[in-house]
Chains A and B, each alone.
Chain A
Amino acid sequence: MQQVQEDEDQQLEENEAAEAVRRKVWTWKELFDQWRRFNIDLAPKLMFCRGAMVDLLVQSRISRYAEFKAVSRLLTVLGGKLEYVPCSRSDVFSSRYVSMLEKRMLMKLIEFVLHYQDRADDYEGYKDKPFSEFLQKRKLTSTLQHFVIHSIAMVSANTPTEEALQAMQYFLKSLGRYGNTAFLWTLYGSGELPQCFCRMSAVFGGIYMLRTTADYLIVDDTNVCRGMIDSEGRRLTCKNVIMDHSYTTTHHEGIHSDRFVSRAVLITDKTVRESENEEVTFLTIPPPKPAEEPVRVLEIGHTACASPKGTYVVHLTRKSSSPDAKTDLMPAVELLCQSLEAELDYSCEKPKVLWSMFFSYQDKSDMSLEDLRAGQPGGVHVTGGPGCSVGYEHAVKQAKQIFEQICPGEEFLPPAPNPEDIIYDEPSGDNPGHSNKAGFEDNCSDELKPEESRSGNGHQFSEQEVHKCEDEGGDDSPTPEAAENVGKESSTKDENQTETVLVESISKECPQGGQEE
């Protein structure tokens, strides 16, 4: 008996040893040495393939600054296990979890939702009733309802049917544009997008200042914003300031003061569900009770440039009514990963958390711009923060609204000219030594002529010109508001500066309305 026990123990040890060879044990130093390979977003978002952000990036040609990766799998939790969500026609047919009958039901529903506006009779009676009742009426099984509500429409069982249909259609329409996926992820993270907008702004003369924060607003005696003072003590003159609500001192008493977003960021040593490919995974953990909130999980690895090879960054996001992220998200962490406290358990298939961070932020994303800026000086525009939406729809909408307030009648982010299409005027110096006039002179109205003095000592910088003050924490990703802000910037401009001249000359090829006052 004793012998058998020893044999078993030995066997177990051997297994563990074999497992240990297969599974790397990370040391803190190894992880730390690779810190530059981690790109951790504070507010990661996905782009719907046919969503507002993709359209905006393509239309403005800002997309050429970034590269994207398809979100390669959609998972959900079914019976305590992670399962694939069938959402496209091919997924539905190849899915193992749905029966023939369910396949037909789901396909019928998908066809219906794509054209639901034309078939009002089919849902009229349910318009304002819970989506789950509507699905019940269409005799969807509980498994299918689960897929549809939580992962395809991404609503809750109680969401009014019409709103849910709209959400589901938005998702379905995004499939197929860039392959069999509804979402794209920005390589290196969501934090790339503000950089793309900043870059576009910069090539047309916008200035962005990294590692600088705004400390004070300068307000005149009529309570209108005249400028700001930055963390270096510089005085920046401007007519408009766009900022996140967290910069304001106003507390919107009573209005949504109880709304928070709970976040967790984990670094793990393996994926939540084994796969042959390196995946970008979007997982929805449905709430235990319909009235509670789901947890959205995004897992990205080294192919999406989020982390070094062999590690994954896992983002958990959830709506909350308290700023206690750990309480909100711990059940989800425990469902997906090995215990945070315990040592690595080789016999457990689940990922081991190598590093974790919990935090929460206030969510004012559903407040109107008017409510957000209440009590602020004139010229100050306040954004509602990233919220916890899956995509950028709200950010794009808000950016556009603020842009229209600042630059009424101007086109929002028109296409930038292709670099090859920009025609430089009379190459004055093509015969070396012959010319003494500025290349852009012919394009400039009198007051825009480049100053003679600029030729030798380059760019002269007046404080007035520095109208952009955007803090970007290096590789850490700022909120999408940074992206918003850039699109709307450039409202103040010193007429005598180069930037204006440059925009003028380029606008011959392609009007850059938004760049000027």
Chain B
Amino acid sequence: MANRGSHKPNGSSPMCQFKLVLLGESAVGKSSLVLRFVKGQFHEFQESTIGAAFLTQTVVLDDTTLKFEIWDTAGQERYHSLAPMYYRGSQAAVVVYDITNQDTFARAKTWVRELEKQGSPNIVIALAGNKADMANKRMVEYEDAQAYAEEKSLLFMETSAKTAMNVNDIFLAIAKRLPRNDDSGNRQRTQGQHLEDKDRREVKEGGCCSK
């Protein structure tokens, strides 16, 4: 995919690609949420990072295909050392906390502040209270989180990567909020080229003395 913005492959339905970043304290279930959303899987003992550059998942919404490029923190949140590149050009973010752990909710608020400071100006932020299947150990009240989300205009849902509750829903809710027409979607993003794709087109480009 040479183009992260909107374009029409083969003139068919429009396709938009968005960068989405996940944030939250270690072990709140960021990777599990992604794995549930992308692969429909859940691992009780999920390794602390997903060993991939980023995962992609496509969502179809009102005849539009949206492709999420999902960036997991790969453990870097522990040292608070997320490089600027992680936030760059991200159009959406899911800030995750664990409903059974009050500290993670406090951390989630810090991440929201961080996003307001570092993220793209019109970033869509969703707050996910994960591990909703463990409600018997609940330490963060639904109402508290909802009030906070309202105050900050965040999307909010309690989710469970384990039971799949609200996982697709929260990504869909984000998809609905994302600007989709070419203009607004790309305003912050200046397009550069991607190397691999161009490389394959090499022959066509020619037109110079090396050919």
Instruction: Write the residues of chain A forming the contact surface with B, with a CB cutoff of 8 angstroms.
Output: 54, 57-58, 61, 63-70, 87-90, 92, 107, 110-111, 114, 172-180, 184, 187-188, 192, 195-196, 198-200, 202-205, 207-212, 302-305, 416-420, 422, 424, 427-430, 432-433, 435-440, 450, 454-459, 461, 472, 474-475, 498, 501-503, 505-506
Contacts and interface: CB of A to CB of B under 8 A. Distances in A.
A399 to B, nearest CB: 18
A69 B193 contact: yes
A467 to B, nearest CB: 13
A178 B43 contact: no
B44 A455 contact: yes
26 contacts: A67-B4, A68-B194, A87-B209, A89-B207, A89-B209, A111-B209, A173-B210, A176-B210, A192-B85, A199-B85, A202-B49, A204-B51, A205-B49, A212-B79, A303-B190, A304-B192, A419-B54, A424-B39, A424-B43, A427-B43, A428-B42, A428-B43, A429-B42, A474-B84, A475-B84, A506-B51
Contact of B45 (A54, A177, A188, A438): A438
Contacts, number: 213
Given A173-B210, A203-B53, A210-B81, A455 B76 contact: no
B130 interface: no
A427 B195 CA distance: 34
A207 B52 contact: no
Contacts of B53: 61, 64-65, 199-200, 203, 416, 419
Nearest to B195: A63
B59 interface: no
Contacts of B80: 210
B41 interface: yes
Contact of B192 (A187, A203, A458, A503): A187
Contact of A202 (B55, B75, B208): B75
Interface stretch (B108-116, B150-158, B196-204): B196-204
A416 B53 CA distance: 8
Given A303-B190, A458-B26, A498 B44 contact: no
Nearest to B193: A68
A305 B86 CA distance: 15
A45 B49 CA distance: 32
Contacts of A203: 49-53, 72, 74
Contacts of B39: 424, 427
Interface residues of B, number: 57
Given A428-B44, A450-B47, A459-B26, A64 B209 contact: no
A305 B195 contact: no
A90 B26 CA distance: 55
Of all A-B residue pairs in the complex, the 9 with the closest CB atoms, nearest first, are A458-B27, A67-B192, A439-B43, A419-B52, A210-B81, A429-B42, A438-B45, A176-B208, A88-B208
Contacts of A196: 85
Given A67-B194, A212-B81, A457-B27, 12 more contacts: A58-B195, A58-B196, A67-B4, A89-B207, A187-B192, A196-B85, A200-B53, A417-B52, A424-B35, A428-B42, A429-B43, A440-B45
